[in-house]
Structure 1
Amino acid sequence: MPEKSSANHPTLSELRAKAQPPEVRSRKNAEHWTAQLYLRHISIYFTMLLVRTKISANGVTGLMIVAGWCIAGSLLIPGIWGAVLAVFFSQVQMYIDCCDGEVARWRGTSGPKGVFLDKVGHYTTEGLVAVALGVRAVGEWNNLIDDPVGTYPFLLAGTVLAGLVILNKALNDMVHVSRAFNGLDKLPDSKEATALNPGAVATLKRVARFVPFHRIYHSVEMSLMALLSSIVTAIAVTAGAEPLFGERWLVLIMAPLCLLSVIGHFLSIMASRRLS
């Protein structure tokens, strides 16, 4: 006999057709590369379990927010294992981030509250992760007291990095707000909608694709960079380098690069058709 379905017990094919339509899978900016590469292939199975419970889509987003905060918390654990745990939670966050929208689409409960909570989750997570990178570079809190001149710059760099990361994310939302305030239609999530007008900025953006450092300020990439810096430290210390060698250089390099990303992002918006 064919498998029976209901609102709370859909078949996998029914759930996939409604929760993962082609227009969702093909989004240019809303889909992180981890979702496109593998998470969307497995998120549907957890969504299958979630729709059989009473948890709301916003409740699932709440789980995503907690997982994101756990990334930053994990980075406060010294050494390589804290970074490994951060990478794990970054994958959990993105996995659940796929599921909350799938639950909302299946139940028909998508709305502004869900979008708002999603924004809160990603803004707070990526800001906290950046701050945690600075704290991680300081090491023990006693270092701030014993050697403030030598350690304070790392904490400051992490704080500055957090502000720049949040500003970089906010630029995209500023575009949508500006369009809404001027009665323009919602900007489609497509390459055509964000294409640059011919000129110097377009040329610079093509060059930047060969060194895409502007893509490392997401929670997934920052956690991977934290893991890489811990590996660098482990190798460098055996060669006589100071402890936290990799973590300290990471935050000092990421902060100015993020400033360049913000400037480039702003110029790209102004040189495109997004505000017209």
Structure 2
Amino acid sequence: MEAVRPSHPTLSELREKAQPIEVRSRKNAEHWTAQLYLRHISIYFTMLLVRTRISANGVTGLMILAGWCIAASLLLPGIWGAVLAVFFSQVQMYIDCCDGEVARWRGTSGAKGVFLDKVGHYTTEGLVAFVLGARAVGELSNLRADPAAMYPYLLGGAALSSFVLLNKALNDMVHVSRAFNGLDKLADSQAATALNPGVVASLKRMARFLPFHRIFHSVEMSLLALVSTIVTAIAVPIGTAPLFGERWLISILVPLCFLSVVGHFLSIMASKRLS
């Protein structure tokens, strides 16, 4: 049942209920953009939302649409498509902060909201990864003119999308496995995910110096798409192949994401998350 709360709260009242310390201190649930600046400004949009009749799940629906717009923007060639993708990635994360704040204020948090949030992030990141491959192909005429050279980029996008989705699913597999075996919900803390001493723990410490496993989020991938477009704009006039940056990007991201999946799997098995 929905909790009875004022429809016109003060900013301090809203912040106390919608942004409690236990939410802002979560280890994995908060993206760095939320920690750095979005949580500081999301409360103002939440203030407007709680004065309307839109539900928290309705706000999550807006987040999903913003995420799909990231992928759609990357279908636009050139720098403006990449700039638009970066913009929508920020919009998505901004709204992603707000839907939970609306739910906490109204007391309507529930399984449907979590499910919709998962749908939003899975579909967004899977689509963005795939579109990076399509972006490396460029126009359809390129595919028709030289399919043997262009299909590997589409295949790379499909592989990257699969690896990104599998990497995300591994975390949910942990929670499902614990639930099926009657274990308590895994705490979102450093201690709960700590690795047992050994080779995997040593490799993970080394990975902190080059945390490439963190770049497969819609925000990071859209930023990389923008960087690759800038590289192309600089490199092509001096004699490199068309879409130089975009093609190198997909060629680099696929093996890196594969390594991330392998490392993620090994870190789960070497930790106490499943015991």
TM-score over 0.5 (shorter chain) = yes
Which SS does the other structure have where 2:251 is aligned?
helix
* Superposed counterparts of 1:134-173, under 5 Å: 134-173=133-172
Deviation string 1:79-111 (CA, Å, 9 cap, x unpaired) is 011000000000000000000000000000000
> What count of residue pairs does the alignment treat as equivalent?
271
Partner Cα distance (2:82, 2:210) in 1: 24
Q: What is the Cα-based RMSD across aligned positions, in Å?
A: 0.6
Instruction: Give 1:143 deviation, angstroms.
Output: 1.2
Segments of structure 1 that go 5 or more residues without pairing to the other structure are: 1-5
Alignment partner, residue 238 of structure 2: 239
Partner Cα distance (1:103, 1:35) in 2: 16
Residues 1:57 and 2:56 are matched in the alignment: yes
* TM-score normalized by the length of structure 1: 0.98
* Superposed counterparts of 1:119-138, under 5 Å: 119-138=118-137
Residues 1:7 and 2:10 are matched in the alignment: no
Segments of structure 2 that go 5 or more residues without pairing to the other structure are: none
Deviation string 1:52-72 (CA, Å, 9 cap, x unpaired) is 000000000000000000000
Instruction: Give 1:76 deviation, angstroms.
Output: 0.3
Alignment partner, residue 110 of structure 1: 109
Instruction: Give 1:243 deviation, angstroms.
Output: 1.2
Partner Cα distance (1:58, 1:13) in 2: 24
Residues 1:42 and 2:41 are matched in the alignment: yes
Which SS does the other structure have where 2:36 is aligned?
helix
Partner Cα distance (1:231, 1:202) in 2: 37
Partner Cα distance (1:271, 1:140) in 2: 45
Instruction: Give 1:24 deviation, angstroms.
Output: 0.3
Which SS does the other structure have where 1:98 is aligned?
helix
Alignment partner, residue 22 of structure 1: 21
Deviation string 1:138-183 (CA, Å, 9 cap, x unpaired) is 0001211110011110010001000000000000000000000000
Which SS does the other structure have where 1:83 is aligned?
helix
Alignment partner, residue 185 of structure 1: 184
Alignment partner, residue 3 of structure 1: none
Q: Which moved more, 1:238-247 or 1:105-114?
A: 238-247
Partner Cα distance (2:247, 2:17) in 1: 46
Partner Cα distance (1:232, 1:168) in 2: 28
Alignment partner, residue 84 of structure 2: 85
Query: What amino acid is aligned across from residue 55 of structure 2 in structure 1?
Result: S
Instruction: Give 1:197 deviation, angstroms.
Output: 0.5
Partner Cα distance (1:153, 1:101) in 2: 40
Partner Cα distance (1:144, 1:152) in 2: 7
Deviation string 1:204-256 (CA, Å, 9 cap, x unpaired) is 00001111110000000000000000011011012111110000010011011
Partner Cα distance (1:82, 1:242) in 2: 20
Partner Cα distance (1:254, 1:207) in 2: 19
Instruction: Give 1:15 deviation, angstroms.
Output: 0.2
Partner Cα distance (1:91, 1:54) in 2: 24
Instruction: Give 1:113 deviation, angstroms.
Output: 0.2
- 4+ aligned runs moved over 4 Å, structure 1: none
Alignment partner, residue 198 of structure 1: 197
Partner Cα distance (1:160, 1:167) in 2: 10
Query: What amino acid is aligned across from residue 173 of structure 1 in structure 2?
Result: D
